Amino acid sequence: MASSILTFTLILLASSITASCAGNLHRHFDITWGDGRGKILNNGELLTLSLDKASGSGFQSKNEYLFGKIDMQLKLVSGNSAGTVTAYYLSSKGSTWDEIDFEFLGNLSGDPYILHTNVFSQGKGNREQQFYLWFDPTADFHTYSILWNPQRIIFSVDGTPIREFKNMESIGVPFPKNQPMRIYSSLWNADDWATRGGLVKTDWSQAPFTASYRSFNGDNACVWSNGASSCSSSSNGNQWLSQESDSTDQRRMKWVQKNYMIYNYCTDVKRFPQGLPPECKIA
């Protein structure tokens, strides 16, 4: 009996250590700019970025990834956040970079945040979709997730898919699948465009503005190191590498897009007078 209790205690201890390491933001991220405005606190459990009139701040992941299922909880700048942008994204380097974006566009107190999403491949973006959220993203932490595998990219909020970008290389649409990407985040002043197209400027009397991060989960992500991936095949517990959105996911995504989408590049015929991008023509 005593040995069973000891074994159970050791298992619990090991689990807690593993969980602590997995959630320790010191282990996964480096503050890269901001002269002290970015901080990792509470023994690595919390990361904060701040913005004032002198500077914003940002961080990046220690690892590069080539495909992954990545979760992070964010709590956005509260109050009058007009003019500010909190960006959370994956990106490679170079002139033909790939990128997968969440950007949160601040607004006046009482007005909804705008969640701006985009996908770049080989240096070309222009694939914006924008949403309101169905909750106050400043009142508490919420989980923002990216599933990126060779077939698709799925953006999710609190487990609800809001957007899917499929691999349509077969019709000539570039898809990000060859360049490893790091995770980046920044809080910065973009009052020349962020709020009502730049009509509403940042109120610096409200500074410092602060966004908070916690509970990063990159366990289901392929770390790229020395030209090789940590993932070998979908048979080794990496089923997400071939994951598709099921009927429930599709239903929930349609609900979000019907009720909360406020811009979709695939319906902006004025922007594309020569014709919509080819991926927009496939249902």
Q: What is the pLDDT of residues 266-278, one digit of tens each?
A: 999 999 999 999 9
pLDDT score of 97 more than 50 = yes
128 counts as catalytic: no
Q: Which of 45, 103, 128, 244 is catalytic?
A: 103
Tens of pLDDT, residues 107-150: 998 899 999 999 999 999 999 999 999 999 999 999 999 999 99
Contact 86, 72 (CB under 8 A): no
99 counts as catalytic: yes
Contact 79, 206 (CB under 8 A): yes
Reference 130, options 251, 260, 283, 259; nearest CA is: 260
Contact 161, 252 (CB under 8 A): yes
Tens of pLDDT, residues 139-188: 999 999 999 999 999 999 999 999 999 999 999 999 999 999 999 999 99
pLDDT score of 66 more than 60 = yes
Q: Which of 99, 128, 169, 279 is catalytic?
A: 99
How far apart are alpha carbons 108 and 78 in whole angstroms?
10
Q: Which residue has the higher pLDDT, 14 or 160?
A: 160
How far apart are alpha carbons 121 and 84 in whole angstroms?
26
Residue 51 structure tokens:
């913005």
Q: How confident is the model at residue 237 (pLDDT cuts 50, 70, 90)?
A: low
Residue 33 structure tokens:
């700019």
Strands 182-189, 84-91: pairing kind: antiparallel
pLDDT score of 42 more than 60 = yes
- Please report, rounded to a whole number, the percentage of residues in the chain having pLDDT higher than 90: 81
The 10 Å Cβ neighbour count of residue 126 is 12
2-281: CATH number: 2.60.120.200
Give CA 53 to chain center in angstroms: 25
pLDDT score of 9 more than 50 = no
Q: Residue-wise over 5-31: b if at least 16 C-beta within 10 A, else e?
A: eeeeeeeeeeeeeeeeeebebeebbeb
How far apart are alpha carbons 37 and 210 in whole angstroms?
9
Q: How confident is the model at residue 10 (pLDDT cuts 50, 70, 90)?
A: very low
Average confidence score pLDDT of the chain:
90
What pLDDT is recorded for position 233? 56
What pLDDT is recorded for position 239? 82
- Which stretch of 12-16, 79-83, 144-148, 274-278 has the lowest confidence by average pLDDT? 12-16
Contact 217, 71 (CB under 8 A): yes
Strands 64-75, 209-225: pairing kind: antiparallel
Contact 102, 88 (CB under 8 A): yes
pLDDT score of 236 more than 70 = no
Reference 24, options 49, 45, 41; nearest CA is: 45
- Please report, rounded to a whole number, the percentage of residues in the chain having pLDDT higher than 70: 89
Half-sphere exposure of 267 (CA within 13 A, CB side): 8
